[in-house]
Amino acid sequence: MNTKKHHADLLSQIIKKSGTPTQHTFLDAYLGNSHPRYPINVPQLRLIAKNWIKHHEDLTLTEFQTLLTSLIKAPSSTEKTMAGLLLDYANEELLKLNPKVFDQWLNHLTGWAEVDSLCYGHFHADLMLENWATWKTAIAQLNQNKNINKRRASLVLLCKPLTQSPDERLELLAFKMVDHLTHEKEILITKAISWLLRSMVKLHSEELMTFMKKNKTTLPAIALRETCAKLKTG
């Protein structure tokens, strides 16, 4: 596989459906980064990603990971986001990535939009639990990193799996990751803590309520407020 060729193909499709990369002060503040963005809407991006995966079914795991790395290292936020969209449409074999690669990838992502596009929802609970020791170690290392984007990723990666499985391993790791970050004041972390805890309401409610009572004086106010509301309303 020619990674440069495939990356160029994806980028040409993006440009064809949009225009010149732009920078906007308002979007920079909202999305949390100043990377240039192509003026293209998400449905168009999704269609490009879906069709590209459909026409490259012979892609190997190594080839796929190399392409994702190329996109994530690209200058535009649009290309970085495309990596996450490709993961959305990838088959299960292509999702069996070594989670250690997130440490490398996240060096090139900034702000909630880029981090979440890569880390949320692609890796379901069964896939993660199948390789649990490696996932657990990778997530714990991200949680301890000086890079705030990696710390956010350690929380976001667990959000979807927690809605899919009552497995105690997911729950215990989630609580541990939250415990390590409860002292942080940055909204990039406090909102992610809230998201993670609210993801536990459906399948981990009893343990969550115990955790909330035990840590009500140390949890970020927004996480405490939003999670308690979610527990009441379901």
Residue 36 falls in which region: left (phi positive, over 0), alpha (psi -120 to 50) or beta: beta
As a whole number of angstroms, the distance between CA 113 and CA 94 comes to 23
Specify the pLDDT at position 234: 78
Q: What is the pLDDT of residues 140-153, one digit of tens each?
A: 999 999 999 999 99
Mean pLDDT of the region 172-198: 97
Residue 22: DSSP 8-state: B
Report CA Rg, the chain.
18
Give the tokens for residue 156: 């976001």
Specify the pLDDT at position 33: 76
- pLDDT averaged over every residue in the chain: 94
pLDDT band of 180, cuts 50, 70, 90 = very high
- From the list 43, 45, 50, 54, the residue with the least C-alpha distance to 14 is 45
Residue 32 falls in which region: left (phi positive, over 0), alpha (psi -120 to 50) or beta: left
Model confidence at 176: pLDDT above 70 = yes
Specify the pLDDT at position 165: 98
Distances, alpha carbon 103 to alpha carbons 43, 66, 106, 148, 187, in Å? 29, 15, 6, 12, 21
CATH 1.25.10.90 is the classification of domain 98-234 = yes
pLDDT band of 21, cuts 50, 70, 90 = low
Q: What is the pLDDT of residues 45-70, one digit of tens each?
A: 999 999 999 999 999 999 999 999 99
At 113 the three-state DSSP class reads helix
Residues of the chain with CATH 1.25.10.90: 98-234
pTM of the model: 0.94
Model confidence at 30: pLDDT above 80 = no
